[in-house]
Amino acid sequence: MNAQTPETGYHYGVIRRALEIIDQGAADLSLDQLAAEMRMSPAHFQRVFSRWVGVSPKRYQQYLTLDHARALLRENFTTLEASAEVGLSGSGRLHDLFVKWEAMSPGDYARGGAGLRVFWGWFDSPFGLALVAGTERGICGVGFAAETGEEATMQDLLSRWPKAAFVEDPMALRPWVLAAFGAENAADPTPLYLIGAPFQVQVWEALLRIPSGQVTTYGEIAESIGNPRAVRAVGTAVGRNPVSWLIPCHRALRKSGGLGGYHWGLPVKRAMLAYEAARADAIG
């Protein structure tokens, strides 16, 4: 059962091809030229973009350029300490998709998920095919297969909790997934169940304080958790975030404004940043 209509995955395929064309230095292509490059009519291409984010393809091209990340860092940088001061804590509404999370105890994590039952299923998402995993308490894993492939994505998530019992049951997760990817008919918010080492959980909680459409740096995250010298360790923890998109590791950039890495492929990270910025622009 798909979380949204199949067109959402198709839309990401269109965006992925657009990324490749723009990366080749074609950011100034007209609508007609870009549509022709992707073998689509201009009208259909325009509809796909408008349905996906609500802005024109030309405007979206600006968000997809590498310079956009640097502009985000200049204009939409989030100071995590300030977020905490205004009440954005674990009990607050830190994300527009869910209102709460809880973390597995360090002892349970050390046991590799022994005794834990994890449901999983494949779903369409705005960023291609997504593998979603969850326990009875909430979603604990989200991976994207567009760049890495389905088999590698599956093995990646399954290997994180080697002693857990994995059960294929997408219907058990469907209500949470609908909310996670912004479906209009979603009934409930999406709870998260964080399964990681204590330091990793600290980093992921910091990521949850970054508002949609804004970014921060790895150094800022290290500062916010009281360990300013642990920038490299923070980067590793960001990369090990098992709940991509919902724990927004795509909003963490290098101090220079460079994208840094992304576990599921840099095109996915750039598409996520562009998607959020374009939607914020459309709403504003």
Q: 252-253 and 216-217 as β-strands: parallel, antiparallel, unpaired? A: parallel
Residues known to be catalytic: 249
Residues 6 or more apart in contact with residue 169 via CB below 8 angstroms: 119, 120, 121
Residue 130 to residues 8, 27, 112, 189, 257, Cα–Cα distance (Å): 11, 28, 23, 18, 27
CA–CA dist 52, 151 (Å, integer): 27
HEC profile for 112-168?
A: CCCCCEEEEEEECCECECEEEEEECCEEEEEEECCCCCHHHHHHHHHHHCCCCEEEE
Local structure of 170: helix, strand or coil: helix
